[in-house]
Chains A and B, each alone.
Chain A
Amino acid sequence: ILNVEQSPQSLHVQEGDSTNFTCSFPSSNFYALHWYRWETAKSPEALFVMTLNGDEKKKGRISATLNTKEGYSYLYIKGSQPEDSATYLCAFNAGNNRKLIWGLGTSLAVNP
């Protein structure tokens, strides 16, 4: 059974703090790893799609790394802002079978 785990489940930080969270996934038959941000009352929004071991991607203050051999990805947020408050979801795809297996997400709250 393919399983994607995210930790921590929730996180509270102060504005300006940097933070990171983890997505763990099966290391066999890797095809792609997705990160999405889901703000309350909005649609999930893609942050990154990563396909190569060692990939590092960056979008503004948010970056992600990928280790397919050991089966984990880190998402980093530098200098957190209140507008970063959201649930961050990762999803794993094995063998390009079109289906993503989703984690339960990390809920981030940034206090001003």
Chain B
Amino acid sequence: GAGVSQSPSNKVTEKGKDVELRCDPISGHTALYWYRQSLGQGLEFLIYFQGNSAPDKSGLPSDRFSAERTGGSVSTLTIQRTQQEDSAVYLCATVIGGSSSYEQYFGPGTRLTVT
């Protein structure tokens, strides 16, 4: 398909385990965002990739969170030693360019539940 895809769609994991979430962007979109939405909260910015520039990691909540984007395409968000407060919907969004005046195209999200 032509849209943003994410996998898995649902992930249940035990506290303390590591998880890896994947985002496949729209081809040609140079900017990629990761967000999360916890219950009752708004979308929380996590990290931003733009082309070959250094990513903006200012939204990552702790050093247990990391993300990479290989070859300017697929991105993975890794959460190490998961905690119950990490339970949330993790959304990926991509943008055709680097300006905030462009609309974001969202994937369907990964619902992470930490038990």
The A-contacting residues of B in range 52-106, CB under 8 angstroms, are: 56, 58-59, 91, 93, 98-106
- A96: chain B residues at CB < 8 Å are 99-101
- A32: chain B residues at CB < 8 Å are 100-101
For chain B, what secondary structure do more than half of its interface residues adopt (helix, strand, loop), or is it mixed?
loop
- A102: chain B residues at CB < 8 Å are 35, 42-44
* CB–CB B101/A46 < 8 A: no
* CB–CB B48/A98 < 8 A: yes
* CB–CB A46/B59 < 8 A: no
Interface residues on B, range: 20 to 34
CB distance from B8 to the nearest CB of A (A): 15
A51 at the interface (CB under 8 A from B): yes
**Chain A residue, CB-CB nearest to B99:** A96
- B45: chain A residues at CB < 8 Å are 99-100
* CB–CB B4/A43 < 8 A: yes
B112 at the interface (CB under 8 A from A): no
Residues of B near any A CB (own CB < 8 A): 3-4, 31, 35, 41-45, 48, 50, 56, 58-59, 91, 93, 98-109
Query: What are 17 of the A-B contact pairs (CB < 8 Å)?
Result: A32-B100, A43-B91, A43-B107, A44-B104, A45-B106, A91-B43, A96-B99, A98-B31, A98-B48, A98-B98, A99-B58, A99-B100, A102-B44, A103-B42, A104-B41, A104-B42, A105-B42
10 more CB-based (< 8 A) A-B contacts, given A89-B42, A102-B35, A102-B44:
A32-B100, A32-B101, A34-B103, A34-B104, A43-B109, A44-B93, A98-B56, A98-B98, A100-B100, A104-B42
